Structure 1
């Protein structure tokens, strides 16, 4: 009993760990597999049971057909995943894997023809409808629509020939062709639209990843250009003045000292400019980060509410809280499956408090804590800020507090008093 409970919890954890797109992918594949067994039950098992008592020969053929249909379902379910991967462009479906399903389809067709000869009853058209479904479902995803329809027409013609060769005459001989063509036509709107929509979603997801990588690359180029603009000219001047100072020193000229003093001044100026550049690059504007977090979360299908004023705070406090909003938003998107997120900002008693709370709590804590929150704590420490996490019920809460004045400033005031 405990083992079953642990397995069920494991399945639930693995399900919760999947993204929405991965869940939809798994749902689409599973639906097709369930559909194969549903058709087997309704169009194969029930008609044979409904036929009632039969002579030994008919019973043997019926059981043989049922065994072949079960084998078709097993193979069909195992072919759905590679067929889906082929349609989505993730892998190429090896055509040799169609040999066994086609062979079973030929055996099942021959058995239905034999049953139609020895026991001409009205239930056997249903058996004909179930014959090709286990092959058609994955085959619909492998070949183009035109090729699929032509192959369905060829199979209907071959089935009619097999029935004629077995001695079937009259209406039973004419029934297979329209039935099989109707089943083939039904498979197209049943299987392909869901796979087509899923493929578009995967392509959109890949496009987002490419866009994110391009944005990162563009930002790196921008930072590189800014760094080159800041340091390029100064380094060139430092190199020239250093060479001039060496030549003057070799000649024993006192002007070499003045040149090196100028080199020192330019180096310090360059250091100051680099610090300003890095500081501007690393600072995060709180209002921009709040708007960006709301837009990103809502685009991901998560209801986001933002409350509290973000204006009038010192630049350092805004930067620290902006980084906290950015990290919290990343965690909401990356961990769990949140449906709502609330961001609250409040200032009281010379302390600013930021609370980010969402309902996407994972079923289990990660094996190792991430570096994002640790880095955020290190960023808050010099300002006297704190970061706390909590899990009240089925929600996850991140609380960041930052004093409006640094501890050093408070210490100077106390000493002055």
Structure 2
């Protein structure tokens, strides 16, 4: 049964930050409606309060829609909604002017002017914060936007009938409120873009680590085969020349070519076997490097010296597969690899956090080809594999392989 918060756990870290940012801006709309609109019912009559509340609610809904489009633009998912921004700016200006006109020339009553003035300032303050999303990349434009709205508010308030001092105070207050909301919007977008950039850099580092490993393998293969192929080419050419001259040394050269070719085959098999069946210590070092390149803290503890080659090969595959799973699935920040040898067996444990699946980890059944393949490799050395959740957001993979006893080793020596 899906967990209530499964949708959140399935999101990556950048997606979580994006969701948080979006709903934070939407919450600003709720705050605008409740804090400015509904609060008018406690200050003026119900009719006027309803009119002002509808104005604020309309502006809040428009701000939510504009925020959604502006954030899509900042993330490169759509073009800049120029018409939408101009429309929202015009709506903000019109509603603000209506509010100040109601305060100065509307129905008489206690607190009417102050209530309408608070709506006037609040609409523009939240409006500036939303419009700042479209100019967040240019600090001078943000300052100009805030200053322009503040100056315009002061001029409109004075033109509507407020004394010049009250109009000046209104403009200065809007400068502070609008500046704060605009700065909040700019910082939120900057943080969101930074998180996405860091996530992309993390994936790039992981890809570079894999590419570096492939280059290392190609370099080793070239070092093994380069000289031998050159010798084979030279001796084959020499054998052709000797054969054309009818000399018996051509057969000796071809025999030498055959020997070098067979030796090359053996060396290539050794290189591939070393890549596929690397020692456990080598795999642990490689896993530490790949995880570190991906920005994940890797802690490796335990001794690997003295383990039989077949045991090291099987456990090396476990480390390799576990590292791949950590990079491909979840959002791990820390991976702990422990090697222990209690009572004639070796136990390898790989534990990571950041599991995002609804079951707190990848499938532990036989359906997964990775875990099934590991079980087959471990079964060849009488080993076992256990994988599953080990706490909230933690996944643990444990491989156990029995070590050959001293008696078995002695018997094998006698038999040989």
Instruction: Please indicate the TM-score interval, normalised by the length of the shorter structure.
Output: 0.7 to 0.9
Shift in CA distance, 234/414, structure 1 to aligned 2, threshold 3 Å: closer
Residue 10 of structure 2 contacts residue 356 of structure 2 at CA under 8 Å; is this kept in 1? no
Shift in CA distance, 163/30, structure 1 to aligned 2, threshold 3 Å: same
Question: Which residue matches 2:55?
Answer: 68
For residue 129 of structure 2, the aligned residue among 129, 137, 140 is: 137
User: Displacement, 1:287?
Assistant: 4.3
**Rounded Cα–Cα distance in structure 2 between residues aligned with 1:294 and 1:378:** 25
Q: TM-score, normalised by structure 2?
A: 0.79
Question: Which residue matches 1:404?
Answer: 403
* Per-residue CA distance 1:40-80 (angstroms, 9 max, x = gap): 3112320x1122326x5xx2xx4344323223222222332
Are 2:14 and 1:14 equivalent residues in the alignment?
A: no
SS at structure 2 position matched to 1:93: coil
Question: Which residue matches 1:362?
Answer: 357
User: What runs of 5+ residues in structure 2 fail to find an aligned partner?
Assistant: none
Alignment of 1:272-351 (within 5 A): 272-287=266-281, 290=284, 308-332=302-326, 334-336=328-330, 343-348=337-342, 350-351=344-345
**Rounded Cα–Cα distance in structure 2 between residues aligned with 1:65 and 1:285:** 74
Q: How many residues align?
A: 402
Question: Which residue matches 2:28?
Answer: 35
For residue 64 of structure 2, the aligned residue among 53, 77, 85 is: 77
Alignment of 1:176-195 (within 5 A): 176-195=170-189
Q: TM-score, normalised by structure 1?
A: 0.79
**Rounded Cα–Cα distance in structure 2 between residues aligned with 1:392 and 1:185:** 47
SS at structure 1 position matched to 2:5: helix
Question: Which residue matches 1:3?
Answer: none
Residue 298 of structure 2 contacts residue 337 of structure 2 at CA under 8 Å; is this kept in 1? yes
For residue 120 of structure 2, the aligned residue among 118, 128, 142 is: 128
Shift in CA distance, 399/215, structure 1 to aligned 2, threshold 3 Å: closer
- Greater CA deviation, 98-107 or 288-297? 288-297
**Rounded Cα–Cα distance in structure 2 between residues aligned with 1:216 and 1:307:** 23
User: Displacement, 1:321?
Assistant: 1.9
For residue 383 of structure 1, the aligned residue among 377, 381, 384 is: 381
User: Displacement, 1:322?
Assistant: 3.2
Shift in CA distance, 12/97, structure 1 to aligned 2, threshold 3 Å: same
Cα-Cα RMSD: 3.9
User: Displacement, 1:150?
Assistant: 1.5
Shift in CA distance, 140/369, structure 1 to aligned 2, threshold 3 Å: farther
Question: Which residue matches 1:98?
Answer: 85
